[in-house]
Amino acid sequence: MNGNRAAELLRERFGRGPELIVARAPGRVNLIGEHTDYNEGYVLPFAIDRYTEVAVRPRTDRVVRVYSAAVDETLSMELPLRNPKPQGRWSDYLVGILQGFSELRPFPHGFDAAIWGNVPLGAGLSSSASLEVAFAVALVQLYGLELDGLELVRLCQRAEAGFVGMPCGIMDQYTAYFGEAGHALFLDTRALEHRAVPLDLEGMALVVVDSSVRRALAGSGYALRRRECEEAARWLSRRFPGRGIRTLRDVDGAMLEMVRGEMPGTLWRRARHVVEENARVLATVDALEKGDSDEVGRLLTVSHASLRDLFEVSIPEIDFLVDWGLEHGAAGARLVGGGFGGVTLHLVAAELREKYVAEIKKAYWERFRIEAKAVEVRPGSGAKYERDLGHR
């Protein structure tokens, strides 16, 4: 770690004081495997080289003060928490984490904290999970808590799903904690086990193009899609009572073909996306291990078509960016994240990257009068922390 901008912010806002703990956690891009994690399926995310930093230091009283550079606001409260309720604001993520820790043990004292980050907010790069994991890692060190990595990841996921009200799977928090530089994580979300897969496609670059269309996932169609998947699994479990269907992870394409026209159409389309997307994750792992960038690109593109047509989470701006990319040299492109806005991922020849980015931004502006942002992303490391003596 270097830079420690959060530490500088904390000292600027709250003055000098005891030794700081600075934790950092990355955002993520999901290479492929969209809407499969909460169906206990397979995903293939990688941590990116953009991060959220949280600097904390102890107080002698029970007051908590947290400054966020992203919104230029300070959260103030006192421990212990007394029946907190979500407010629909950035602070909900922090309060959810604090509530989770308070169930493990009482807080002996409060703290001052500052947050800085360069993960775009609301863009589908998991800025929320990045914040949650960085904050949780900082608190573990501040209070000397005994919590292994998977327990911490689960606590963060519960905070977002249970307190914030976003019914997310565990992929984002898992990647923010366990990410490995230069690799994607082939994650089985049922077993919660992963193996690192080298993400090194020679001569190719991964470019994220941000549509600048934002969506609040907790209040969007994301929650509806999750309910539809659960309903589809229940319908199929009744239709195939001897198959032990618990989630769509337990369904295969042959079952879906047997009930085509019998199963409610919307549920059938949602299930088909999940079943085929799981298969695409496995195929992408194989293609990466062979260094086959053409096949990786093809799978990304097919994934987008499924998200658009079967899962119905794309929008015209996202479709334009994907279609333009495929017409102008991308080996593959797709929507990344929950959908209804956010970013697209483009696999392009490294030598064409600068020209490609300039032209897609120009075309997007001409079509929608919206400024797109683009950044090359590289697979980075998961969560880290360090102690910062600085200037007392």
| Distance from C-alpha of 137 to C-alpha of 140, rounded to nearest angstrom | 5
Sign of CA dihedral 136, 137, 142, 143: positive
Degrees, nearest 5: CA angle 1-145-111? 70
Q: What is the DSSP string of 139-152?
A: HHHHHT----HHHH
- Residue 204 in contact with residue 347, Cβ under 8 Å? yes
| Distance from C-alpha of 183 to C-alpha of 382, rounded to nearest angstrom | 11
| Distance from C-alpha of 143 to C-alpha of 58, rounded to nearest angstrom | 9
Q: How many CB atoms lie within 10 A of CB 253?
A: 12
Per DSSP, the three-state class of 382 is coil
What single-letter amino acid sits at 382?
G
To the query of whether residue 323 is one of the catalytic residues in this protein, the response is no
CB under 8 A, 24+ apart: contacts of 251-256: 251/275, 253/279
DSSP 8-state secondary structure symbol assigned to residue 83: S
Query: Which helix or strand (DSSP H or E) is residue 186 part of?
Result: strand 183-188
Q: Which of 37, 172, 210, 388 is catalytic?
A: 172
- Residue 271 in contact with residue 255, Cβ under 8 Å? no
Beta strands at 111-117 and 204-210: parallel, antiparallel or unpaired: unpaired
Q: How many CB atoms lie within 10 A of CB 73?
A: 12
Known catalytic residues are 172
